[in-house]
């Protein structure tokens, strides 16, 4: 679905009826419900379910994107309540009695008012999470389409690069607030980010980038379809599910 892929992707979503696939994927993301919150990695429940992490600079539009994807006004704002901003918040998806995936909302980084020690502490949590969380299947990195990658985004990509290179973790970069750009600037933003991502691509990697706007819903359906395909491909590697 991504508007540009830096490596070959074999998505397992049904391609015969894109509208039905989008409805199905959006119905699935809509099932997201709060599961738990943790300030330390060892407090996260071990899980067999594939986990998709949402990461990005603070103010990149991460909470708004999660709320748009799940069609829930307040879901990700749980992550913004005092005392939880430095936490990893987990959401469960799928049938209530048979959850099939988790979304992990990781704290936004780069917020100027945070103290140096908080920043360093957070960097370590982030690096460790991306390095050792066994169930991590994919990362959705939110980047403000007007700013492109910042140093902290590049650092984050470095943290996860080994697992991207061997295909253990997939990556989707969402260029947020795309409604604020005209077409030429949007194309430019997409190109800049794609150039950086090309350096991370390998035979095994699955890396995509897409323009996204929670305001006009650009990219929302496609993102849901892609995330669903990530989960499907892990659950049923051979058969495509109708
Ligand atoms: P977070 O810190 O990454 O969770 O960012 P938020 O989701 O809180 O968004 C930061 C700011 O960007 C808020 O003022 C949002 O209203 C605004 N914003 C988020 N997504 C969009 C979008 O798609 N379009 C526009 N125009 N503004 C957005």
CA distance 164 to 158: 10
The verdict on residue 38 lying in a domain is: yes
Which of 58, 60, 64 most suits a substitution to test ligand 1, by most atoms within 8 Å of the C-beta?
64
Alpha helices of 60-182 — where are they, by DSSP H?
62-70, 116-132, 151-165
The verdict on residue 16 lying in a domain is: yes
Q: Cα of 182 to ligand 1 centre, how many Å?
A: 18
Q: How many domains does the chain have?
A: 1
Which residues' Cβ are closer than 6 Å to ligand 1?
56, 58-64, 108, 176-177, 179-180, 213-215
The verdict on residue 19 lying in a domain is: yes
Expressed as residue numbers, the domain containing 136 is: 4-235
Look at ligand 1, atom 18, and give the residue with the nearest C-alpha. Answer: 61
Q: What pTM was estimated for this model as a whole?
A: 0.90
* pLDDT single digits (tens) 149-160: 999 999 999 999
The verdict on residue 56 lying in a domain is: yes
* pLDDT single digits (tens) 28-80: 999 999 999 998 888 999 899 999 999 999 899 999 999 999 999 888 876 56
The verdict on residue 154 lying in a domain is: yes
As a whole number, mean pLDDT of residues 81-86 equals 63
Provide, rounded to the nearest whole percent, the portion of the chain with pLDDT above 70.
86
172 in Cβ contact with 223 (< 8 Å): yes
List the CATH number of the domain containing 61. 3.40.50.300
Look at ligand 1, atom 27, and give the residue with the nearest C-alpha. Answer: 177
* pLDDT single digits (tens) 145-195: 999 999 999 999 999 999 999 999 999 999 999 999 999 999 999 999 999
The verdict on residue 242 lying in a domain is: no
Q: Cα of 190 to ligand 1 centre, how many Å?
A: 19
The verdict on residue 241 lying in a domain is: no
149 in Cβ contact with 143 (< 8 Å): yes
pLDDT, residue 147, reads 97
């Amino acid at each position: 679905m991504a508007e540009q892929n830096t490596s070959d992707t074999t998505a397992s979503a049904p391609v015969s009826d894109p509208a039905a696939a989008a409805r199905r994927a959006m119905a699935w993301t809509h099932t997201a419900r709060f599961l738990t919150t943790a300030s330390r990695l060892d407090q996260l429940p071990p899980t067999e379910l594939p986990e998709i992490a949402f990461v990005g600079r603070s103010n990149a539009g991460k909470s708004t994107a999660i709320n748009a994807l799940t069609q829930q006004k307040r879901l990700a704002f749980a992550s913004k309540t005092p005392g939880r901003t430095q936490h990893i918040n987990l959401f469960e998806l799928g049938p209530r009695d048979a959850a099939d995936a988790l979304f992990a909302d990781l704290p936004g980084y780069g917020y100027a008012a945070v103290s140096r020690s908080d920043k360093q502490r957070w960097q370590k949590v982030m690096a460790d999470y991306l390095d050792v969380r066994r169930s991590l299947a994919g990362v959705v990195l939110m980047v403000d389409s007007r700013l492109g990658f910042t140093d902290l985004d590049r650092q984050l990509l470095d943290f996860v690069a080994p697992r991207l290179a061997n295909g253990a973790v997939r990556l989707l970069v969402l260029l947020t607030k795309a409604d604020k750009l005209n077409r030429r600037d949007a194309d430019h933003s997409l190109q800049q980010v794609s150039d950086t991502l090309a350096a991370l691509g390998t035979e095994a990697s699955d890396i995509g980038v897409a323009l996204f706007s929670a305001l006009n819903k650009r990219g929302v359906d496609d993102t849901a379809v892609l995330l669903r395909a990530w989960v499907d491909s892990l659950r049923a590697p051979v058969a495509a599910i109708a």
